[in-house]
Amino acid sequence: MATEPVASSKAEGAAGFAAPSALRRRGRPDGLILALGVATAFTTLLDQAVFSFAVPSIQRSLDADGAQVQWLTSSYSLAFGLALVGAGRLGDLLGRRSLYLLGLALFAVAGFAAALADDTTTVIIARLVQGFGAGVVNPQVLGLFQDTFRGIMRSRALSGYTTAGSAAGLVGPLGGGILLTVLPDDTGWRLVFLLAVPLAVVLIVSAVFVLPRPSAVPGGVRSALRQVDAVGVVLLGTGTLALLVAAVSDGVLLTALAAAAVALFVLFALWERHVYARGGAAVLHPELARNRGYLLGTAVAALTFGSALGIGLLTTLFLIEGLGYSPFAAALLLTPRALGMVVGSMLSWRLVRRFGRSGITWVLGLALIVVTVEIALVTTGSEPLIVLGILGAGTLQGFFSGLFIPSNQSLTLNEAPPGVNGVAAGFFQLSQRLAAALALSVYAGTYLAVGANMPASFAFGAAASITIAASLGALLISAAATPAANRSLSPRSRRRNGAKVTYPAAVRQPT
pLDDT, tens digit (0-9, with 9 covering 90-100), for 288-297: 777 888 888 8
Report whether pLDDT(346) > 70. Answer: yes
Across 451-464, average pLDDT? 86
For CA atoms 272, 274, 275, 279, the dihedral sign is: positive
Nearest C-alpha neighbor of 305 from the set 233, 200, 405, 386: 405
pLDDT at residue 201 in the model: 94
**Residue 223 reports pLDDT greater than 70:** no
- In this structure, the number of other CB atoms found within 10 A of the CB of residue 157 comes to 24
Question: What whole-number distance in Å separates Cα of residue 337 and Cα of residue 391?
Answer: 7
Predicted confidence at residue 249, as pLDDT, reads 73
Summarised one tens digit per residue, pLDDT across range 359-401 is 888 989 999 999 999 899 988 888 889 889 888 888 898 899 8
Task: Work out the angle at residue 69's Cα, subtended by the Cα atoms of residues 314 and 193, and round it to the nearest 5 degrees.
Answer: 90
Rounded distance between C-alpha atoms, residue 406 and residue 428, angstroms: 12
Contact (Cβ atoms closer than 8 angstroms) between residue 418 and residue 13? no
DSSP character string of 148-193: H--HHHHHHHHHHHHHHHHHHHHHHHHHHHHHHHHS-HHHHHHHHH
Count of Cβ atoms closer than 10 Å to residue 274 Cβ? 13
For residue 5, the cross-strand partners are 23
pLDDT over threshold 90, residue 163: no
Tens digits of per-residue pLDDT, 194-209? 988 999 999 999 998 8
Residue 374 Cα to chain centre, angstroms:
24
503: pLDDT strictly greater than 50: no
Average pLDDT over residues 107-113: 94
Q: Is the pLDDT reported for residue 106 higher than 60? A: yes
Which pLDDT belongs to residue 30?
A: 77
Instruction: Output the pLDDT for position 480.
Output: 86
Which residues lie across from 23 on neighbouring strands?
Answer: 5
Radius of gyration over every alpha carbon of the chain, rounded to an integer in angstroms: 22
Q: Residue 159 has what pLDDT? A: 75
* Alpha helices (runs of H) in 414-507, residue ranges in sequence order: 421-451, 456-488, 491-496
Confidence bin at 421 (pLDDT 50/70/90): low
Half-sphere exposure of 295 (CA within 13 A, CB side): 10
Instruction: Work out the pLDDT band at 461, boundaries 50, 70, 90.
Output: confident
Longest CA span, the chain: 68
Cβ neighbours of residue 277 under 8 Å, at least 6 residues apart?
Answer: none
Instruction: Tell me: pLDDT of 484 over 60.
Output: no
> Is it the case that residue 451 has pLDDT exceeding 90?
no
Q: What is the pLDDT of residues 3-38, one digit of tens each?
A: 333 333 333 333 333 333 433 444 456 788 888 988
Choose between 349 and 124: higher pLDDT.
Answer: 124
- List C-alpha distances in Å: 430 to 24, 99, 108, 306, 307: 25, 17, 21, 11, 15
pTM over 0.85: no
pLDDT at 505: 35
CB within 8 Å of 181: residues ≥ 6 apart: 188, 326, 327, 328, 329
CB 225 within 8 A of CB 16: no
Class of residue 424 by CB neighbours under 10 A (exposed 0-12, middle 13-18, buried 19+): buried
Can you give the pLDDT at residue 369?
A: 93
Cα(304)–Cα(285) distance, integer angstroms: 24
Does 450 score more than 80 pLDDT?
yes
Confidence of residue 483 (pLDDT cuts 50, 70, 90): low
- Find the Cα–Cα–Cα–Cα dihedral 129, 81, 119, 53, rounded to 10°: -110
pLDDT exceeds cutoff 50 at 120: yes
Give the whole-angstrom CA distance, residue 199 versus residue 108: 9
- Rounded CA-CA distance 395/374 in Å is 10
Select the highest-mean-pLDDT range: 100-104, 320-324, 383-387, 411-415. 100-104
Q: Tell me the backbone φ, ψ of residue 227, rounded to 5 degrees.
A: -80, -10
Report pLDDT for 105: 95
3 strand-pairing partners? 25
Cα 164 to chain centroid distance, Å, stands at: 13
Question: Cβ(179)–Cβ(51) under 8 Å?
Answer: no
Among 408, 403, 404, 411, residue whose Cα is nearest residue 487: 411
Cβ-defined contacts of 238-244 (< 8 Å, 24+): 238/264, 239/263, 239/264, 239/265, 239/267, 239/268, 240/81, 240/82, 240/430, 240/434, 241/78, 241/82, 243/434, 243/438, 244/74, 244/77, 244/78, 244/81, 244/82, 244/434, 244/437, 244/438
What are the φ and ψ backbone dihedral angles of 23, each rounded to 5 degrees? -90, 110
pLDDT exceeds cutoff 80 at 1: no
- Assign 127 a pLDDT band (cuts: 50, 70, 90): very high
The Cα–Cα gap between 491 and 294 comes to 19
135 — pLDDT class (breaks 50, 70, 90): confident
Burial of 480 (0-12, 13-18, 19+ CB in 10 A): middle
Q: What percent of the chain has pLDDT over 70?
A: 83
What is the distance in angstroms between the CA of the first residue and the CA of the last residue of the chain? 32
Mean pLDDT of the chain: 78
pLDDT single digits (tens) 68-105:
887 887 788 778 877 877 787 777 777 788 889 999 99
DSSP structure class, residue 27: T
Question: Residue 328 — pLDDT band, cuts 50, 70, 90?
Answer: confident
